[in-house]
Amino acid sequence: MSMIKSFEGFQPVSLKQEGDDQSSETDQLSMEEGDLGKDPTPKQMSRQPSVTETTLYPNPYHRPYLSRKYFVTRPGAIETAMEDLKDHVTKTSGEKIQGFWLLTEIDHWNNEKERILVVTDKTLLICKYDFIMLSCVQLQQIPLSAINRICLGKFAFRGMSLDKRQGEGLRIYWGSPEQQSLLSRWNPWSTEVPYATFTEHPMRYTSEKFLELCKLSGFMSKLVPTIRNALQNSSESGRGKELMVLTEPILIETYMGLMSFIGNRNKLGYSLARGSIGF
């Protein structure tokens, strides 16, 4: 058995994990109460009263340098994106914007993709935004009157799937999955998928501003009444349609999931600082 010996000028130290030497106030108080039970002489606490306050935002367990890796959290990035999308809506349709949200889209191959969602009076816009170059790369526009079903629930996979995820999400249908072609179903880059699946963005707890932007329940509470209002105000051919809101598992039909395994763990679907390259 190896031992750490002390040499002149050096003292043996014990190796601890980061944060082990910072015991909680509860542990300190319990130790002091035990000492008081053994010794009737009261001991004076040398600790000064704490002047700090425990707040939820920013998350005290979130390391700041991790959030800085995401370009969306950098000053002015999300505001610039929102202004660009406002200008686009004003110039193209002139519709009234109901709200903006920053969510993660999960495609039919379980790949995560950073997206900005815009809800107007008549349209749902799903924007792929480059937060590095501050420009809109792709914009998908879905008429609210075409949306017929919304499902909210936990993610589910086939029994033979190897790459699975935890948590819950939201799936929006504007067509029938049964009508989707086999080629589209097995093409990871297909744009003919008649639904979109979303979950909360990884940076939702970095600040109060991002908590509101990334809240899935907030997006749901605004989207559902806006869709129903759009269905009521649609043309005669669209009247009589009703929006179904269901709570059920959200099935993702992947089996091996090698591409999503590599992409999701390296956050390839996000505008992310990848580190310096060079010498």
Query: Taking the model in full, what pTM does it have?
Result: 0.75
Domain contains 10:
no
Q: What is the residue-level pLDDT of the chain in tens, covering all 279 positions?
A: 444 444 344 444 444 444 444 444 344 434 444 444 444 444 444 444 444 444 455 555 456 667 789 999 999 999 999 999 999 999 999 999 999 999 999 998 899 999 999 999 999 999 999 999 999 999 999 999 999 999 999 999 887 777 788 899 999 999 887 777 777 777 777 878 999 999 999 999 999 999 999 999 999 999 999 999 999 988 655 556 789 999 999 998 887 778 888 888 889 999 998 876 554
Q: What confidence score (pLDDT) does residue 66 get?
A: 73
Q: How far apart are CA 262 and CA 275, in angstroms?
A: 18
Domain contains 54:
no
Contact 260, 111 (CB under 8 A): yes
For 196, phi then psi, to 5°, come to: -140, 140
Q: Which residues pair with 272 in a beta bridge?
A: 70
Domain contains 152:
yes
Q: What confidence score (pLDDT) does residue 276 get?
A: 64
Domain contains 32:
no
**DSSP secondary structure of 19-74:** TTT---HHHHHHHHHHHHHH--S-----PPPP-----SSS-TTS-HHHHHTBGGGS
Domain extent for 191: 64-265
pLDDT by residue (tens digit) across 90-103?
Answer: 999 999 999 999 99
Of 202, 146, 191, which is closest to residue 172 (Cα–Cα)?
A: 146
At 213 the three-state DSSP class reads helix
CA angle 237, 242, 244 (to 5 degrees): 145
Q: What confidence score (pLDDT) does residue 62 get?
A: 57
Q: What confidence score (pLDDT) does residue 185 get?
A: 77
Tell me the Cα Rg of the chain.
Answer: 26
The count of other CB atoms within 10 Å of the CB of residue 63 is 8
Q: How many domains does the chain have?
A: 1
Q: What confidence score (pLDDT) does residue 7 get?
A: 39
For 76, phi then psi, to 5°, come to: 85, -5
Q: Domain holding 75: CATH number?
A: 2.30.29.30
Q: What is the mean pLDDT of the chain?
A: 80
Domain contains 144:
yes
Domain contains 260:
yes
Q: What confidence score (pLDDT) does residue 235 get?
A: 66
User: Which strand (E) or helix (H) includes residue 220?
Assistant: helix 216-232
Q: How far apart are CA 175 and CA 279, in angstroms?
A: 52
pLDDT by residue (tens digit) across 120-146?
Answer: 999 999 999 999 999 999 999 999 999
Domain contains 204:
yes
Q: What confidence score (pLDDT) does residue 190 get?
A: 83
